Amino acid sequence: MTASTDRVGVLLPRDLPVDQFVDFARRAEDLGFDELWVVEDLGFRGGIAQAATALAVTARITVGIGILPAAARNVVFAAMDVATLAQLHPNRLVVGIGHGMPGWMQQAGAWPSRPLSYLREYARALDTLLRGGRVTPGRYVTAAVEPLTERPDHVPPIVLGVRGPKSLIAAGEIAAGVVLAEPAGPEYIAASLTLVMSRRQSAAAPLVITYDLAAVSDVPHAAHESVRPALAVVGEPDWHPHIAPLPFASDLAALRAESADSDAFAARIPREWIPSLAIAGTVEDVRAGIAARHAAGATTVVLTPVGDDPLVSLDELARALPEPPAA
């Protein structure tokens, strides 16, 4: 995949019924989405397996993996998997890696003592292997292996799933770009991009992939209420960097602190805050939200569908895709 801007993707729901997986992937491509992103959340489906299937049943759409927790996979075998996908489906893959959610990684027995240091070594080793280099043992990633025999002609971009300032700076130093999980409003994108560029090592512009909850309806209130339940997570401590640039950040933190639980918090979020926490509303509202994120520096805006029927939600989101230029 070559770097480009103003792309729109869609996230394949982590709990999508398995009998809808292929239909969702093919439908996303047919509807005109540029990218399809799969997640690897603890207890759901594996990222490599999902990406392999999505790539195999489609022909054009770029597939992103967002994200693979580095410490859960030996870097050599991860490189072999990625290289195989990139050989079979050239220029259609983006690989996101990160240190993972601490609670999940601790449950899995794979939380390193120095998560960011581990991720730095891992990202460098993975890229080295994919480019035909030899890896020598580091302090945290101790692989020692000769170059891979099977390597792709086109190395897929490696992007880091990040939240805090240190990981954003690291992404600028060692990766092709970043994945900014929801909510990723224009203020958060701009602040994050400043940190990514502060020590940017590559001359190439970084990929900036953003996730946002999204809903389209001819009735704005209906779209806002569709995304509301999923906003329960935004008040948790790990989401602070996403919220900090917003003008109501302190009020949101206070609301979360005084709410009995995350569901109660979501129910009490003022409606006027929702457009800053999600991409929701009419077709025009959603197009404006996508455009604002692109203007802030996002290269791919990934829409996360909500609602009881993922395929219906996918069709609704596609109504807001930018209209192709006139011939």
CA distance 261 to 258: 9
Quick one: which of 164, 146, 176 has its CA closest to 238? 164
Percent of all residues in the chain with a pLDDT value above 90, rounded to a whole number: 87
Q: What is the pLDDT of residues 141-164, one digit of tens each?
A: 999 999 999 999 999 999 999 878
* pLDDT over 60 at 178, yes or no: yes
Mean model confidence pLDDT for the chain:
94
**222, 224, 226, 230 alpha-carbon torsion, rounded to 10°:** -170
Confidence band for 325, pLDDT divided at 50, 70 and 90: low
> What's residue 1's pLDDT?
44
| Extended strands (E) in 93-149 | 93-98
Polymer length in residues for the chain? 327
Token code pair at residue 267: 């129910």
**Interior/surface letters 49-84, b for 16+ CB within 10 angstroms, e for the rest:** ebbbbbbeebeebbbbbbbbbbbbbebbebbbbbbe
Give mean pLDDT, residues 53-69: 97
pTM for the model stands at 0.95
At 215-269, the pLDDT tens digits run: 999 999 999 999 999 999 887 777 788 888 999 999 999 999 999 999 999 999 9
Superfamily holding 7-226+276-318: Luciferase-like domain (3.20.20.30)
- pLDDT score at 236: 75
Q: By C-alpha distance, which of 272, 281, 238 is closest to 256?
A: 238
d(CA 129, CA 138): 14
Q: What is the DSSP letter of 231?
A: G
